[in-house]
Structures are given as structure tokens and as C-alpha cells.
């Protein structure tokens, strides 16, 4: 429990420094700043693999699945990469939400901060119950595997359509709970309008981002549980990936149109993890293979996006 306490205290400390010191004054996150912070968080997350090795070597953390230190590190890195890669879809949805509610760029970081804080709490609960289910009911892993395969198929066959947050059920539900003002007042989540306390677009965007993250977690949590059911590895890899999502958003959201084929990478990753879950009691797939499939899939999606011409931008003869 001491290790868990120290890890959570570290997360809380950094979040406090983030909003209270580094980003006390709302400002537009430029690409250079986003790239620096993304690099820092990736370095922290990968560096944490050394701590994972030390904790499991010294027996300082519970090891219910009897992992060797080397295996624990491989599973941690694989879980981290899965969560990071599946966050790409989340980035796209967040960008649409901000655009729909006309959230100024200088306030987007604060909305993401509170969104990430809520996501940590919800992810922790989902991981706790997910691990408990797998440990109590062996067959539940087949349910998770089938769900991931279904998600991969849906992602592959789903026709692209414009997502309009203002037409979503979540937005209609929020309107029933709070009066909504369509005017901004700095970084305030609520304002008084004609004596009535009303939610600003910042608060509405925050709620929709929070709930969509829960939906995305329905994919990512089972995917990580396919790698390991060790609660500390699942939690730490997931949370460190989420913490890096804020800076990654400001970096990746500006390049989404360039990476047209990245969705196919996600389909391959989800399908592979789903199959791994279905075969878990019959075939042992080594962690280096899982890591390789994830890395090659992501690299393939990026390379294909860069070298294959975008037909939608190809000029016609009439042009």
C-alpha cells in the first residue's frame, strides 16, 4: 500500500504544480511547448519502467500474478503503448468538442486538466473492478476479447460521419440539469445570468469530454487487462499515458489530417489484443511479440499516411 500511496501522491503533486505553477495563467499552448511536454511525459513514463523493475526485484509491491522483474517491465511498456495509441481517437473527439463549443485555445488546457483529473478517478474504479472480475471469473476474459474484436470490426467498417456534440444525448441531459449560457466569461465554469446560475460552454465541454473518456476506457481497459491483470502495472501504465494526453492533444490535434491511416493501426492493435484474450488459456503469446505488433502497427499507419497521396486533395482535370 505504501507504493500505491507514493505513486498517487506523485500524481497529485504534479497536477497541483501543473495548474498552480506551470499553467497558472491561461495561455495558448504552442506546438513547441506541447512537443516539449509530450517528450517529458514520455520520458517519465518510460523511465518509470526502471522503477517497475526495482519494485518487482525487491518485492516492494504485491505480485499476485508472479511476474519476474523483466516480464513486469515488458507488460508495463506494452500497456502504456496500448493506452497511448488508443488515445489518438480520444484526441480527435476532444478537438471536435472544443470546436463545437468555440472554446478559446488559451482555456483548453484548463478544461483538459479537470477532465484528466476526473478520468484518473473513473479509470481507477474501472481497473479495480476489471481486475476483480478477471481474478474471480476466468471466463470474463473471453467476454473482453470478443468485445475488443467487435470494437475493431466496428472501427473498420464504420463510415466517417461528423460528430456533433450539441446533438448528443449528453448535451441534452446537461441542459436538463443546468441552465446553459452560450457566452464565455474568462475561465469560469458557471456564471450568473439574470440572477440564475448558468453553466458556461467550458463546463459543458468538460462534462462531454469526461463522459466520452469513460466510453473510450471501455476499449482501453480490457485491452490492457489482456496484457496483465497485475493491478499496479495496469493502473500506473494507464495513468501515466493519460497524464501525457493533455500535451499530446495540443501536438497531435494539429497533425490529425496528416495521419489518415492511423485508424487502421488501431484496428490491428484491438484485433490482436482481442485474439490474445480469446487464446489466453490455450496459447501463450510472448510479450515481445505483443510489443512488436503494437510498434509495427503504429509505425505502419504513420508511414502509410506520409507516403500515400491523399486522393481528396489531388487536383482534378477541371481544376
DSSP symbols for 288-313: HHHHHHHHHHHHHHHHHHHHS--GGG
Which of 25-39, 69-83, 151-165, 209-223 is predicted least confidently? 151-165
| 15 within some domain | yes
Contacts of 3 (CB under 8 A, 6+ apart): 55, 60, 61, 232
* Percentage with pLDDT > 90 across the chain: 12
| 165 within some domain | no
As a whole number, mean pLDDT of residues 246-260 equals 73
| 28 within some domain | yes
Domain carrying residue 55: 2-159+217-306
| 294 within some domain | yes
Per-chain mean pLDDT for the chain: 82
> What is the reported pTM?
0.79
CA angle 82, 87, 88 (to 5 degrees): 110
Structural contact between residues 116 and 238, judged by C-beta atoms closer than 8 angstroms: no
Domain count along the chain: 1
Cα–Cα distance for residue pair 86/223, rounded to 1 Å = 10
Structural contact between residues 259 and 305, judged by C-beta atoms closer than 8 angstroms: yes
User: What local confidence, expressed as pLDDT, does residue 159 receive?
Assistant: 59
Q: What is the pLDDT of residues 171-230, one digit of tens each?
A: 887 788 878 887 888 888 888 877 788 888 888 888 888 887 787 777 778 888 888 889
Q: What is the pLDDT of residues 153-169, one digit of tens each?
A: 887 876 555 567 777 77
Q: Please say if the pLDDT value at position 54 is more than 90.
A: yes
| pLDDT band of 58, cuts 50, 70, 90 | very high
SS3 59: coil
Amino acid at each position: 500500500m505504501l507504493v500505491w500511496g507514493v505513486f498517487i501522491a506523485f500524481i497529485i503533486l504534479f497536477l497541483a504544480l501543473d495548474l498552480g505553477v506551470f499553467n497558472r495563467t491561461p495561455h495558448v499552448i504552442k506546438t513547441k511547448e506541447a512537443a516539449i511536454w509530450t517528450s517529458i511525459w514520455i520520458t517519465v513514463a518510460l523511465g518509470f519502467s526502471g522503477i517497475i523493475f526495482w519494485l518487482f526485484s525487491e518485492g516492494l509491491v504485491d505480485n499476485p500474478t508472479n511476474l519476474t522483474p523483466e516480464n513486469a517491465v515488458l507488460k508495463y511498456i506494452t500497456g502504456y503503448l496500448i493506452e497511448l495509441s488508443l488515445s489518438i481517437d480520444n484526441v480527435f473527439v476532444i478537438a471536435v468538442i472544443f470546436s463545437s463549443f468555440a472554446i478559446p485555445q488559451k482555456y483548453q488546457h484548463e478544461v483538459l486538466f479537470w477532465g484528466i483529473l476526473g478520468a484518473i478517478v473513473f479509470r481507477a474504479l474501472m481497473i479495480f473492478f476489471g481486475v476483480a472480475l478477471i481474478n474471480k471469473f476466468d471466463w470474463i476474459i473471453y467476454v473482453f476479447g470478443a468485445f475488443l474484436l467487435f470494437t475493431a470490426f466496428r472501427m473498420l467498417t464504420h463510415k466517417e460521419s461528423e460528430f456533433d456534440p450539441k446533438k448528443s444525448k449528453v448535451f441534452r441531459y446537461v441542459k436538463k440539469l443546468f441552465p446553459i449560457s452560450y457566452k464565455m466569461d474568462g475561465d469560469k465554469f458557471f456564471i450568473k445570468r439574470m440572477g440564475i446560475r448558468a453553466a458556461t460552454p467550458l463546463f459543458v465541454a468538460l462534462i462531454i469530454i469526461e463522459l466520452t473518456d469513460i466510453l473510450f476506457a471501455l476499449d482501453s481497459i480490457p485491452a490492457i487487462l489482456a496484457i496483465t491483470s497485475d493491478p499496479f502495472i495496469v493502473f500506473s501504465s494507464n495513468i501515466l499515458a493519460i497524464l501525457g494526453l493533455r500535451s499530446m492533444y495540443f501536438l497531435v490535434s494539429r497533425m490529425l489530417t496528416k495521419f489518415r491511416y492511423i485508424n487502421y493501426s488501431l484496428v490491428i492493435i484491438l484485433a490482436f489484443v482481442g485474439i490474445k484474450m480469446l487464446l489466453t488459456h490455450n496459447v501463450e503469446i510472448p510479450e515481445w511479440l505483443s510489443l512488436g505488433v503494437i510498434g509495427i502497427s503504429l509505425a505502419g499507419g504513420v508511414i502509410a499516411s506520409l507516403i500515400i497521396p491523399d486522393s481528396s486533395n489531388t487536383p482534378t482535370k477541371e481544376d
